[in-house]
Amino acid sequence: PSDASGEELAPAKRCFNNLQRAVKSAWFESLFAILIILNAIVMAVEAQHIGNNNAIQIGWATSASPVTHPWQGADGVIVFADWVFGLVFVLEVVLGWTANGRAYWLHLWNWFDAAIVACWLFQKLVSDGLVDASVLRVFRLLRLLRLLRLLKTMREFDALQLIVATMQSSTGILFWTFSSLALFFLACSLLLQLLLEHWILDAEHTAEADRMLLYEYYGTFSR
């Protein structure tokens, strides 16, 4: 009976071992680093879309860049992409916890990942009507923290510790260097837009000229 039990457990044990090897492999970290970059691009598109909607709401328009209507169908695409990326990052935490057990929680980066995933779940599970718009704006802002996860991935590439030598290194290292700089500017742009959006939309306490000026420089991601 013990042999039969061992034979029954063998496939499960092999599956668990394969999961551990996959989670601890370099390609696993690289895959989710790429997904973080793609998620950041979607966030940039979302910020641009929100900025265009805000322009319509405050009546801002110029002859050089008139905004007369929002992107058709953009809301559905952005919501779908947000769900896809959110669930993928939830899966990452679950796989990491399953493969490493209690040891998973011994690393601060894993607590960081779990906290961001928890914020995303809270945002999705709580109805918009029950939460103030400023609170939801904070949750959108917290998603930017996921970009810091790239620091963990970059540590896996020794050449990234020597930025001066990147031009002599492989194209993969050059890609990560360029990505890190591009994502830094992307995060700064998203941060400014999210922080100033309240004053752009606040017609009661912000002068009309100030609102238009804020929107002109910080109203959308591309600005």
pTM: 0.61
CA distance 63 to 183: 31
User: In the predicted model, what is the mean pLDDT of residues 146-174?
Assistant: 59
Backbone angles phi, psi at 64, to 5 degrees: -75, -35
Confidence of residue 48 (pLDDT cuts 50, 70, 90): confident
Confidence of residue 2 (pLDDT cuts 50, 70, 90): very low
What pLDDT was estimated at residue 94? 92
26 close to 58: Cβ distance less than 8 angstroms: no
78 close to 45: Cβ distance less than 8 angstroms: yes
160 close to 176: Cβ distance less than 8 angstroms: yes
Side chain identity at 179, as an amino acid letter? Answer: S
What pLDDT was estimated at residue 80? 92
What pLDDT was estimated at residue 87? 93
> For residue 91, how far is the Cα from the chain centroid?
15
Per-residue model confidence as pLDDT tens digits over 187-223:
888 887 777 777 777 777 777 777 777 777 777 766 6
Long-range CB contact pairs, 214-218, < 8 A, 24+: 215/51, 215/54, 215/55, 215/58, 215/60, 216/60, 216/62, 218/192, 218/193
Q: Indicate if the pLDDT at residue 126 is higher than 80.
A: no
Per-residue model confidence as pLDDT tens digits over 8-28:
557 778 888 888 888 888 788
What pLDDT was estimated at residue 33? 82
Q: Is 6 left (phi over 0), alpha (psi -120 to 50) or beta?
A: alpha
Say which DSSP state 207 is in. -
221 close to 51: Cβ distance less than 8 angstroms: yes
User: In the predicted model, what is the mean pLDDT of residues 131-148?
Assistant: 72
Q: Indicate if the pLDDT at residue 155 is higher than 80.
A: no
What pLDDT was estimated at residue 222? 66
